[in-house]
Amino acid sequence: MQDPDGARPGKRDGLKLGCSESDRQTKRIVLIGRSGSGKSSTGNTILGKDDFKSCYGASSVTEKCQEARTFRFGQQILVIDTPGVFDTKVPNKQSLEEISKCISLSLPGPHVFLLTIYAGRFTQAENATVKHFAEVFGEDMFKHTILVFTGRDLLEEQDTSFEEYLKTIPPSLEEILGKCKKRCIVINNCLKNDSSDNDARNMMEMINKLVESHQDFCYTNEMFKAVEMKLQESKIRRQKDEEKHKEVDELKKELQHCREEFNNFKHQRHHCWNIDHLAAETVKKEMRRCEKELQQYRVENIEHQRQPVSLFPRDIDEVLLSIGFRE
């Protein structure tokens, strides 16, 4: 049997889990949100007392999952406060690991997640926060989630109604709201009077309506374990993919090295060829010079051989004639 939202059915409240009748009747609420979104203050508003330390700021006051109980509006209520995500002092991984403990604290599982968002500018950090929660608890989380916008006093100062504000939210927040079937409420945690009680009453009415629509089925530990298993499988796949990418990168580096070596070889071979070619040209020129000189020598030698051989130069005759040896 499935709930109206089509979620995989969880165990009905306390059935086969050894929970007492009191536990089965208790509405189990888990508060999640970014640091400074008014998470703990929202819990105090529901409880009607300051059981959780609260402070608006970038650092989360809540470092560990905390629980508080009360009897209010005719029913038992269990509220579990969780550490804020994107705390400036605590790594996200550590915060998310601690947040996951809220499931065991709310066995057989929470009826509802109250995702607190400050009614102002919805930033990329807030959107990343919601994605982190979806990774931890899975998409089924949204079937059990109500968006609680804190800071109604800010809207009142701007003379803006909640309906008008919702028309201005970015597409990323619209998508989240759509996953939650438009379940949302705006509250003012700064008030400690009848108005605060009304906010608490309205939140509990919305929670009761959601639980009733799910026919008392809640987000169970089995659902969470299934998500954990998927995350583990995804982590293993990621590690294998990273190893494959690393091997591919190594092969690419080796291939690049081989290409560089080959290019160096080609360059050296071309350089050697240039040297050999230059040496060959030099030898050829020298050979041509020698052949030319040899040829010239041969020509001169032939001309010399053609001339008559004279033992004496021509002016010898004149000398002999002058001294009377010749007439």
Which pLDDT belongs to residue 315? 56
Which pLDDT belongs to residue 17? 44
CA distance 46 to 200: 5
CA distance 8 to 38: 31
Report, as an integer, the average pLDDT of 215-239: 68
For the four alpha carbons of 166, 58, 198 and 214, in that order, the dihedral sign comes to: positive
Q: Which residue has the higher pLDDT, 309 or 165?
A: 165
Lookup: tokens for 301: 């030698």
Percentage with pLDDT > 90 across the chain: 31
Q: Please, which pLDDT band fits residue 3 given cuts at 50, 70 and 90? A: very low
Characterise 2 by phi-psi region: left (phi > 0), alpha (psi -120 to 50), beta (else).
beta
Q: Which residue has the higher pLDDT, 6 or 128?
A: 128
Q: Which strands, in side-by-side order, build the sheet including 145-150?
A: 66-72, 75-81, 27-33, 112-118, 145-150, 184-187
CA distance 28 to 219: 10
Cα–Cα distances in Å, from 110 out to 79, 106, 171? 9, 6, 28
Running DSSP on this structure, what letter comes out for residue 57?
S
pLDDT digits (tens, 9 = 90+) for 278-299: 777 777 777 777 777 777 777 7
**pLDDT of 325 higher than 80:** no
Q: Please, which pLDDT band fits residue 7 given cuts at 50, 70 and 90? A: very low
Q: Please, which pLDDT band fits residue 2 given cuts at 50, 70 and 90? A: very low
Decide: 210 and 55 in contact? Cβ < 8 Å: no
Which pLDDT belongs to residue 78? 95
Report, as an integer, the average pLDDT of 89-97: 62
- Residue 23, helix vs strand vs coil: helix
Q: Which residue has the higher pLDDT, 317 or 190?
A: 190
Which pLDDT belongs to residue 308? 58
Least confident of 50-64, 69-83, 99-113, 166-180: 50-64
